[in-house]
Amino acid sequence: MKNAIYAQSGGVTSVINASAYGVIKAALNAEEIDNIYVAINGINGVFNEELADMGKEDPEQIELLKFTPSSAFGSCRRKLKEESEFEEIFRIFDRYNIKYFFYNGGNDSMDTANKIHQYAQKIGYDIKVMGVPKTVDNDLPETDHTPGFGSIAKYLSVAILEGTLDVKSMAADSTKVFILETMGRHAGWVAASTALAKRHESDGPHIILLPEVPFNKEKFFEKVEKTIEKYGYCSIAASEGIKYADGTFVAARGYKDNFGNVQLGGIGSTLANLIRSELGIKTHYAVPDYLQRSGRHISSQVDVNEAIEVGAMAVKYALEGKSGYMVGIERLMNSPYMSTTKLIPLDNVANETKLVPPEFITEDGMFVNEKFIEYALPLIEGEYYPPYLNGIPLYARLKLNRI
């Protein structure tokens, strides 16, 4: 018997189940693989021997995985540290005849996959370990981009477009500033992607605050006021992770209330209160939080297709005998956009963070330039709507009976 395990780990995306779909379909079709199991809640599902046999799921529900956001199999935040953990994993792998292991996640998850690969080599256990990339943060090195990024970029571009039309409507005698708080604690790719909504100079966003650029309150206020002077309103995308030059988070330092007490909040409420209290301008802010990374109803077609592909290719590479790699994406051309996959050693990926490079950022540090647009625009192309029933998306409902 040669069985495979697939599992999902870390923060979710709207297309991680599309990668699951790619892995599961390819594994079900592979003669070399007898059973494809999914571990429930990431690597914890291995420890707890919570495994579900994908061969026993309703094929229609498997098809719906393409359209279903978040982790259909549960995720985890566990990092492996102890030798005893690896011993335990391989005892269980051996018990279930696991010869293939596919781990779908971001930086931390690639580190886990890498350690499992290295431990297998050390003890001489015959297994192919492949990393399947997933992160809205787009911060994995060596791959052109990560599955999940195109869809959060599309979600947030549409959000800033619609939110800006709203503040534009209200600006004449009410709210004049709209702030969209985006994910991105270290890398600003997600906040930067809102620039894709801008077709004309007056369109939002007018300001993008990236964690890569130290926050300068005076310059920020100046740009807010100039934008309002010019267009009547100002639309801002702010990464949750922006910091002052001294390294403290802007949201952590907060703002003072009427009694002089420091208030803590997210970056959206912090900036809104700064603008209200120091500039006296009525401000609204939105915090999409989970909605931005699970918003499958507005995912990018390019992103969904690539997510499926990296999953399916992980199986193909493993069947060819490869192990210890992540399936990366290589861009072939921009117009028409085309990409292919490539192998990236897990060693090169684990725990590395790719930031937005200076050559993508405008001189004032508060926007991105044409080079970024050229890079990111193809990734939000195409709509790949889920099916609907009674006005609501029809997402997969798996049985996940434990073996």
What amino acid positions are annotated as catalytic residues? 137
- 154 lies in the site for a second copy, by CB under 8 A: yes
Phi, psi of 240 (to 5 degrees): -55, -25
Stretch near a second copy under the rule CB under 8 A, chosen from 119-127, 132-140, 213-221, 391-399: 391-399
Q: Is 290 annotated as a binding residue?
A: yes
Cβ(176)–Cβ(232) below 8 Å: yes
Measured CA to CA, the distance from residue 239 to residue 266 in angstroms comes to 10
Please identify, using beta-carbon distances, which residue of 131 and 288 lies nearer to a second copy: 288
Please identify, using beta-carbon distances, which residue of 263 and 351 lies nearer to a second copy: 263
Q: Is 293 annotated as a binding residue?
A: yes
Q: Is 296 annotated as a binding residue?
A: no
CA of residue 336 relative to chain centroid, distance: 24
Q: Is 240 annotated as a binding residue?
A: yes
* Ranges within 286-305 binding a second copy (CB under 8 A): 286-291, 293-298, 300
* Ranges within 78-97 binding a second copy (CB under 8 A): 78
Q: Total residues contacting a second copy (rule CB under 8 A)?
A: 73
Cβ(381)–Cβ(337) below 8 Å: yes
The per-residue DSSP string of 324-362 comes to: SEEEEEEEEEETTEEEEEEEEEHHHHTT---PPPGGGB-
Measured CA to CA, the distance from residue 204 to residue 111 in angstroms comes to 38
Out of 19, 35, 71, 341, the only residue in the binding site for a second copy (CB under 8 A) is: 71
Q: What is the nearest approach in angstroms of a second copy to the Cβ of residue 84?
A: 19
Out of 88, 383, 399, 403, the only residue in the binding site for a second copy (CB under 8 A) is: 383
Q: What is the nearest approach in angstroms of a second copy to the Cβ of residue 326?
A: 21
- Of 318, 323, 295, the closest CA to residue 393 belongs to 295
Structure tokens at 118: 């290295």
Q: Is 341 annotated as a binding residue?
A: no
* Residue 133, H or E segment: strand 128-133
* Ranges within 156-185 binding a second copy (CB under 8 A): 157-159, 161-163, 165-174, 178
Taking CB under 8 A as the rule, which mask of x and - marks residues 248-287 in contact with a second copy? ---------x---x-xxxx-xx--------------xxxx
3-state secondary structure of 256: strand
Stretch near a second copy under the rule CB under 8 A, chosen from 79-87, 195-203, 304-312, 314-322: 195-203
Beta bridge partners of 131: 103, 326
- 199 lies in the site for a second copy, by CB under 8 A: yes
Whether omega for the bond prior to residue 59 falls within 30 degrees of 0, making it cis, is no
- 329 lies in the site for a second copy, by CB under 8 A: no
Q: What is the nearest approach in angstroms of a second copy to the Cβ of residue 211?
A: 20
Out of 32, 56, 77, 353, the only residue in the binding site for a second copy (CB under 8 A) is: 77
Stretch near a second copy under the rule CB under 8 A, chosen from 55-63, 124-132, 244-252, 383-391: 383-391
Cβ(205)–Cβ(194) below 8 Å: yes
Q: Compute and round to an integer the Cα radius of gyration of the chain.
A: 22
- Of 135, 76, 193, the closest CA to residue 326 belongs to 135
Q: Is 135 annotated as a binding residue?
A: yes
Q: What is the nearest approach in angstroms of a second copy to the Cβ of residue 154?
A: 6
Q: Which amino acid is at 95?
A: R
* CA dihedral (121, 315, 403, 394) positive or negative: positive
Q: Is 261 annotated as a binding residue?
A: no
Q: What is the nearest approach in angstroms of a second copy to the Cβ of residue 78?
A: 7
Q: Is 53 annotated as a binding residue?
A: no
* Ranges within 15-54 binding a second copy (CB under 8 A): 41, 44
Task: List the alpha helices (DSSP H) in 97-255.
Answer: 107-123, 149-170, 189-192, 217-231, 250-253
Structure tokens at 381: 């192309």
Which residues define the annotated binding site? 11, 107, 135-137, 183-185, 240, 290-293
Which residues define the annotated binding site for diphosphate? 11
Which residues define the annotated binding site for Mg(2+)? 107
